[in-house]
Amino acid sequence: MVRKLAAGNWKMNGTAENLGEVDALKAALPRPEVDVLICPPTTLLSRVAERLDGSGIGTGGQDCHSVRAGAHTGDISAPMLADAGASHVILGHSERRNDHGETDADVRDKAKGAIAADLTPIICVGETLAEREAANTLAIIGGQLAGSIPDIVTGDRLVIAYEPVWAIGTGKVPDTDQIGEVHDFIRAKLEQRFGVGVGRAVPILYGGSVKAGNAAEIFAVSNVGGALVGGASLKAADFAPIVAALQGA
Contact call for residue 209 and ligand PGA (CB under 6 A): yes
Closest CA to 82 of 54, 124, 113, 51: 113
Comparing CB distances to ligand PGA, the nearer of 38 and 232 is 232
- 17 contacts 44 by C-beta, under 8 angstroms: no
- 231 contacts 169 by C-beta, under 8 angstroms: yes
DSSP string across 202-225: S-EEEESS--HHHHHHHHTSTT--
How far is Cα of residue 210 from the mean position of the Cα atoms in its chain? 13
Contact call for residue 228 and ligand PGA (CB under 6 A): yes
Residue among 25, 159, 229, 244 that touches ligand PGA (CB under 6 A) = 229
Comparing CB distances to ligand PGA, the nearer of 10 and 194 is 10
| Catalytic residue of the set 65, 88, 93, 183 | 93
Residue among 143, 169, 197, 248 that touches ligand PGA (CB under 6 A) = 169
Among 41-49, 75-83, 163-171, 215-223, the segment contacting ligand PGA (CB under 6 A): 163-171
CB of 68 to ligand PGA, least distance (A): 26
Q: First-to-last CA distance in the chain?
A: 13
H helices present in the chain, as ranges: 19-28, 42-52, 78-83, 94-99, 104-116, 129-133, 137-148, 176-194, 196-201, 212-219, 236-248
Comparing CB distances to ligand PGA, the nearer of 65 and 97 is 97
Contact call for residue 207 and ligand PGA (CB under 6 A): yes
Comparing CB distances to ligand PGA, the nearer of 37 and 229 is 229
Comparing CB distances to ligand PGA, the nearer of 79 and 203 is 203
Concerning whether 100 is annotated as a catalytic residue, the answer is no
Alpha carbons within 13 angstroms on the beta-carbon side of residue 226 total 24
CB of 200 to ligand PGA, least distance (A): 24
String marking each residue 8-47 x if it binds ligand PGA according to CB under 6 A:
-x--------------------------------------
| Strand, coil or helix: 115 | helix
Neighbouring-strand partners of residue 88: 60, 120
Closest CA to 51 of 84, 12, 10: 84
Concerning whether 163 is annotated as a catalytic residue, the answer is yes
Active-site residues, by number, are 93, 163
**Binding site residues, ligand PGA, CB under 6 A:** 9, 163, 168-169, 207-210, 228-232
